[in-house]
Amino acid sequence: MSERHTALRSMHDLGLAAWFGGSLMGALGVNGAAAKIDDSTQRLPVASAGWARWTPVNAAAIGAHLAGAVGELVTESPRVASQAGVAKMSTIKTALTVGALAVTGYSRLLGMRLQKAGGPPVEGTTEPSYQTPANVASSQRQMKLLQWAIPAMTGALVVVSAYMGEQQKPGQVFRGLLGRAGGLASAPAAIGKMAGMGATKRPMAMAGR
């Protein structure tokens, strides 16, 4: 593995680890701790302040992950084209990344709305009380779902990335290349077989007339 590839892989992995770990810690730690504050009007401001401090770090982590992922994709493009299974996993990884980015972005938008709401009485960061204004309560209910969606999707990215790392091992590369070559070699035979079946059916259909 080249030094460039090692650097890209490190950026990819560290960024993803911070993205996953930060979102999970925030949901459990920041939101959980804020819910324990006695003054119900201070729970939302305290949680919002914690998330605001984490946002620049999270943005840097996501940027590092994306830079590493794009760099790896460019470097590994020959394997994507030639090794069986790599293109499929790359597609899954891209879909998960886009989904996680969308959920993270919308969560930040909701967080900014809650931050601007001031200090309404709430049960917790994502749990409204009967005194919580309707617009704030709506944002909290959405945030309650999204706070777990982000670690779920980034956690899935960790698993997929680990699997793709296994695909880079020499033995896996060799088997993948053989699998792709075998599939390409069998294609003409399959086409010929289908053509033969079509030619057999045509005379039978004409005889039926």
Mean per-residue pLDDT, 74-92: 75
Q: How far apart are CA 26 and CA 33, in angstroms?
A: 10
The pLDDT of residue 172 is: 47
Centre a 10 Å sphere on the Cβ of residue 163 and count the other Cβ atoms it contains: 13
Buried/exposed code over 126-149 (b: 16+ C-beta within 10 A; e: otherwise): bbbeeebeeebbebbebbbebbeb
Report residue 208 as tokens. 């039926």
Amino acid, single-letter form, for residue 3: E
Select the more confidently predicted residue: 85 or 176: 85
pLDDT-above-70 percentage for the chain: 75
Largest CA distance in the chain: 89
pLDDT at 84 over 70: no
- Report the C-alpha gap between 186 and 208 in whole angstroms: 33
The predicted structure's pLDDT at residue 81: 67
* Higher pLDDT pick, 67 / 176: 67
Above 80 in pLDDT, residue 78?
A: no
> Given the structure tokens 């990344």, which residue do they identify?
97
- At 185, the pLDDT band (50, 70, 90 cuts) reads very low
Residue 20's pLDDT is 97
The answer, yes or no, to whether residue 26 has pLDDT greater than 80, is yes
Which residues is 122 bridged to in the sheet?
128
Average pLDDT, the chain: 82
Residue with tokens 């994502």: 126
The 10 Å Cβ neighbour count of residue 150 is 24
Task: State the average pLDDT over residues 83-100.
Answer: 86
